[in-house]
Amino acid sequence: MVILDGLPDRPVNGRTPLTVARKPNLDKIAEMGINGIMDTIAPGIRPGSDTSHLALLGYDPKKYYTGRGAIEALGVGIDLNPGDLAFRANFATVKGNGSIFDKVVVDRRAGRIEETEELVKALNEIDLPVDFEVAKATGHRAVVVFRGNFSTNVSDTDPKTVGSKVKRCEGDKEIAEIVNEFMQKAHEVLEKHWINEEREKRGLPRANALLLRGAGVMKEVPSFEERYGLSLKVISATALIKGVGRFVKGEIFTPPNATGNKKTDIGAKIKAALDSLKSSDVVLLHIKAFDELGHDRDFEGKVGFIEKFDSYASKLLELDFSKNCLIVTSDHSTPVKVGDHTADPVIVSILHEDVRRDDVKTFNEFEAPKGGLCRIRGADLLNIALDLLNLVEKFGA
């Protein structure tokens, strides 16, 4: 299952990046397969990458999704138990007098600080009434987990706008008070940390606060293997997608030069996916940069990355389609005109020796709807593939 994150687009002067790009291999995939469009969650619902990936793996996000924090925490490698509460966090710069909640955010990313290892180490030494863990994520980002049996009924402390005061955590009293205590103690530890003294000498903003958002609680989830009797491997460099993989207890692999952006080593990722089929039943290969370029509203950039991906995609066509099923699709559209995810259905091509091939010969938003798959839901995708492979039981007699 190849997920081209945020690839599909809306027309700009009648054209989308996919209609402009030269992409002989993606077109070959469309030609060899059965094609259609797909609402990864439901028509008109704008999917997040986390909820849509859950749906594509057959997990109803309405039932299982409990907020981004938990998925992100799993993605950076923290082990979670049911009931643990996780937040996404940003190192930020705050100024003013009094407690952390009297101070104003002047930079939500603390000058896009990268060297947070020592700060994270110091934060983990804080004394709190519950067990907790802070972990570094990419750049200025981190994850904070409070261990216990909590609900997600707690608010963010990140005001999300520069010039606003740090927010007090509200909601479930028991945990909100602990979060607020953490906020104050974290500020004190960071304010006097030598890294920040050095940053100040170099004229850089102090990373003197941790802003929390996106509370999520870990849930009891049946593993992919329990559900389907098949092993799962997820190949991605993006914490959120790795988190979805760990959420359903799949195996995760990130090739050394996979970056989760447009500089990624596509060849290494495709090779890793094909190699993984020797030991895993289902392999999800996630390629992120299409989405990033959509968020950046970069039409030409998207065209260029499609062509770059395509130059490696011939390897996918070397699969033995009498034994393997290849799905090429996306988790949602990220149109350059919008700069964010939309509910426009995504393109799906499914390849297998026994598939009923249709007349679609071009991989794009306008041709895919003419294919034999018509319009499906994300929750049905895996079942369709398993049926082609004769891996499902009959329903009824």
In this complex, which beta carbon is closest to Zn ion, that of residue 7 or of residue 85? 7
Q: Is 344 in the site for Zn ion (CB under 5 A)?
A: no
In angstroms, what is the minimal distance from the CB of 319 to Zn ion? 24
Distances (CA, A) of 258 to 322, 330, 372: 30, 18, 34
In angstroms, what is the minimal distance from the CB of 347 to Zn ion? 14
In this complex, which beta carbon is closest to Zn ion, that of residue 205 or of residue 294? 294
In this complex, which beta carbon is closest to Zn ion, that of residue 6 or of residue 243? 6
Distances (CA, A) of 55 to 7, 72, 102, 385: 17, 17, 42, 15
In this complex, which beta carbon is closest to Zn ion, that of residue 133 or of residue 331? 331
In angstroms, what is the minimal distance from the CB of 232 to Zn ion? 18
In this complex, which beta carbon is closest to Zn ion, that of residue 196 or of residue 254? 254
Residues 6+ positions from 304 with CB-CB distance below 8 Å: 21
The residue range among 4-12, 128-136, 299-307, 350-358 that interacts with Zn ion, by the rule CB under 5 A, is: 4-12
Q: Which residue is nearest to Zn ion (CB)?
A: 49
What DSSP string describes 135-157?
EE-STTEEEEEE-SS--S-B--S
* Contact between 157 and 184 (Cβ < 8 Å): no
Query: Which positions from 275 through 304 interact with Zn ion, judged by CB under 5 A?
Result: 291
In this complex, which beta carbon is closest to Zn ion, that of residue 170 or of residue 340? 340
Q: Tell me how far apart the alpha carbons of residues 330 and 192 are, in angstroms, rounded to a whole number.
A: 46
The residue range among 78-86, 222-230, 323-331, 363-371 that interacts with Zn ion, by the rule CB under 5 A, is: 323-331
In this complex, which beta carbon is closest to Zn ion, that of residue 6 or of residue 214? 6
Q: Is 49 in the site for Zn ion (CB under 5 A)?
A: yes
In angstroms, what is the minimal distance from the CB of 261 to Zn ion? 12
In angstroms, what is the minimal distance from the CB of 290 to Zn ion? 9
Q: Is 365 in the site for Zn ion (CB under 5 A)?
A: no
In this complex, which beta carbon is closest to Zn ion, that of residue 276 or of residue 334? 334
The residue range among 56-64, 157-165, 274-282, 327-335 that interacts with Zn ion, by the rule CB under 5 A, is: 327-335
For residue 274, count CB atoms less than 10 angstroms from its CB and return exposed for 0-12, middle for 13-18, buried for 19 or more: middle
Sole binder of Zn ion in the list 1, 4, 5, 303 (CB under 5 A): 5
Residues 6+ positions from 323 with CB-CB distance below 8 Å: none
* Contact between 116 and 209 (Cβ < 8 Å): no
Give the tokens for residue 148: 């216990």
The DSSP letter of residue 364 is S
The DSSP letter of residue 342 is B
Q: Is 330 in the site for Zn ion (CB under 5 A)?
A: no
* Contact between 270 and 264 (Cβ < 8 Å): no
Number of residues that bind Zn ion (CB under 5 A): 5
Residue 74: phi and psi, rounded to 5, are -60, -40
In this complex, which beta carbon is closest to Zn ion, that of residue 5 or of residue 107? 5
In this complex, which beta carbon is closest to Zn ion, that of residue 5 or of residue 27? 5
In this complex, which beta carbon is closest to Zn ion, that of residue 6 or of residue 371? 6
Q: Tell me how far apart the alpha carbons of residues 257 and 236 are, in angstroms, rounded to a whole number.
A: 11
* Contact between 38 and 329 (Cβ < 8 Å): yes
* Contact between 238 and 260 (Cβ < 8 Å): yes
Distances (CA, A) of 352 to 203, 285, 385: 59, 18, 9
In angstroms, what is the minimal distance from the CB of 127 to Zn ion? 38
The residue range among 43-51, 110-118, 135-143, 278-286 that interacts with Zn ion, by the rule CB under 5 A, is: 43-51
326 DSSP β-pair partners:
351
Q: Is 331 in the site for Zn ion (CB under 5 A)?
A: yes
Q: Which of 166, 133, 169, 174 is nearest to 154 (CA)?
A: 169
Residues of this chain that interact with Zn ion (CB under 5 A) are 5-6, 49, 291, 331
